[in-house]
Amino acid sequence: MNRVERLTLWSGGTLISTFAILLFAGCQSGKESSGAGTATAAAPATPAMTAPATPPGSTLKAIRIDAGSDTNYVDSEGNVWLPDQGFADGEVVARDGDLPIANTKDPMIYRTEHYDMTAFSQNVPNGKYTVKLHFAETYEEITGAGQRVFSFSVGGQEFKDFDVYAKAGGAQRADVETVEADITNGVLNITFTPNIQSPEINGIEIIPAP
């Protein structure tokens, strides 16, 4: 402000007017530059990723779920088992990594379990499937037949009063129940109903019929 006043005394009104015009133009230029630097065009929305639909006439590869596990597992035949998923309710548990399991080449499947669940569901193309349910009694407080009894239904086929200990012939012994299912509504549904103790399962395989 002092500089402007000195210029006024030295050069008179004409110089003041010229200086004011240049100063105003500079301020306007500065505002436009600042605006251009901070404004950004809205980025185009990224479309949500969705799983591709199964082409008509194609068949789904086998789905294998390692119940209770939090990682993938590759079995002795090279099949990949996915981590625990698809269950409604219940809890998961992992037993000791070296717990012996008889009647199987893949004891790891039976060292984790999902228990106290009410249902399992998996979207699949309509068609015929072989569903394998893997069980083993590994709870240390179950010491004999009749101490864990529950019912389950696979695609509407009901299996009442299932006793893992009795069916497998003892504790820490694998038992595989095989059910043929015909899916017509795009979903495989399995339900579990407790009787004595809570239902438990160690693995599920969903294999398309050839």
What is the tens place of the pLDDT at every residue in 70-94? 999 999 999 999 999 999 999 999 9
CA-wise closest residue to 192 among 157, 163, 150, 156:
150
Cα–chain center distance at 147: 33
- Please report, for residues 3, 28, 93, the alpha-carbon distance to residue 39 in angstroms, rounded to integers and kept in the order given: 35, 17, 54
Select the more confidently predicted residue: 126 or 21.
Answer: 126
Q: What is the largest CA-CA distance in the chain?
A: 113
CA-wise closest residue to 190 among 124, 139, 146, 145:
124
**Sequence-separated (6 or more) residues with CB below 8 Å from residue 27:** none
Task: Identify the three-state secondary structure at position 170.
Answer: coil
Task: Identify the three-state secondary structure at position 25.
Answer: helix
Q: Alpha-carbon distance 181 to 129, whole Å? A: 5
CA-wise closest residue to 171 among 200, 195, 205, 203:
200
β-strand pairing of 157-162 with 149-154: antiparallel
Per-residue pLDDT tens digits for 118-156:
999 999 999 999 999 999 999 999 999 999 999 999 999
pLDDT of 104 over the 80 cut:
yes
Contact 139, 188 (CB under 8 A): no
pTM of the model as a whole:
0.73
**Domain chopping of the chain, boundaries:** 1-28, 63-208
Burial 51-74 (b: 16+ CB within 10 A, else e): eeeeeeeeeeeebbbbbbbeeebe
CATH of the domain spanning 63-208, picked from 2.60.120.430, 1.10.3720.10, 1.10.1760.20, 3.40.50.300: 2.60.120.430
CA-wise closest residue to 67 among 95, 25, 48:
95
